[in-house]
Amino acid sequence: SDQRTQWSTMWAKVEKGTFFDLNGPTPPLARIKKLLPQGIALIPGCGRGYDCISLSEGGKRTVIGLDIAEKAVAEAKKYRDELKVDAKKVKYVCADFFTFTPGMKYDVVIDYTFLCALPPDLRKKWAAKMALLLREGTGRLATLIFPIVNKAGGPPYAMSVDLVTDLLTSAGFERVYFEQSVKDSAPGREGKEALALWKLPAKK
């Protein structure tokens, strides 16, 4: 796909701490782990997998990191193995989010620098796919909404709280937690992030 070609080309030059690579876990996501259920988690667009390892909390959760770029998945596995993290607890899959069919629902799904990387015409499909992947009732989708800026074009494309709220409520989600302005953003991302947790109502 075009996305695979684009991100594979990009990943050929992403060293640790360059471009969108933070060279460590995302501080706001590390902080909200205590608000998230245990069980099995999914992080699409996982890159080098820093947040996958952080969310696993030493094996409390099983985390699946998904990326469309083979190089990202290779780098994530390499980083995981360097840290001697259990490969049964933090797994990586090279796949397209939109065609990924795990045959199960996740207790936690995290979106950070993923929605903003997608072409705008895929946003409704993104929300619908999230609704298929999250466990109803107890599952939580965490969206760290970034970049909240006025700009044209991308990636990353400009995001807003209203945009994400409209997409997710239209797909059946309810917001259960919200931070309008995140206080502990990674350097360079200050003042451009909001954080929300979402659930899908339990099936009647």
Q: What is the rounded CA–CA span in Å between residue 137 and residue 132? A: 13
| pLDDT band per the 50, 70, 90 thresholds, residue 188 | confident
Q: What is the tens place of the pLDDT at every residue in 90-130?
A: 999 999 999 999 999 999 999 988 999 999 999 999 999 99
Give the predicted TM-score (pTM) of the model: 0.89
58, two tokens: 């030493």
Q: Is residue 16 scored above 60 in pLDDT?
A: no
Alpha helices in the chain, H assignment, sequence order: 2-11, 27-31, 50-56, 70-82, 123-133, 161-170
**Average model confidence (pLDDT) across the chain:** 89
The answer to whether residue 66 scores a pLDDT higher than 70 is yes
CA distances from 39 to 1, 105, 106, 198 (A): 32, 10, 8, 17
- Of the two residues 10 and 197, the one the predictor is more confident about is 197
Tell me the percentage of the chain whose pLDDT exceeds 90.
68
Write out the DSSP string of 114-151.
SGGGS-GGGHHHHHHHHHHHBPTTT-EEEEEE---S--
Give pLDDT, residue 18.
45
Q: Which amino acid is at 116?
A: C
Structure-token pair, residue 179? 């931070």
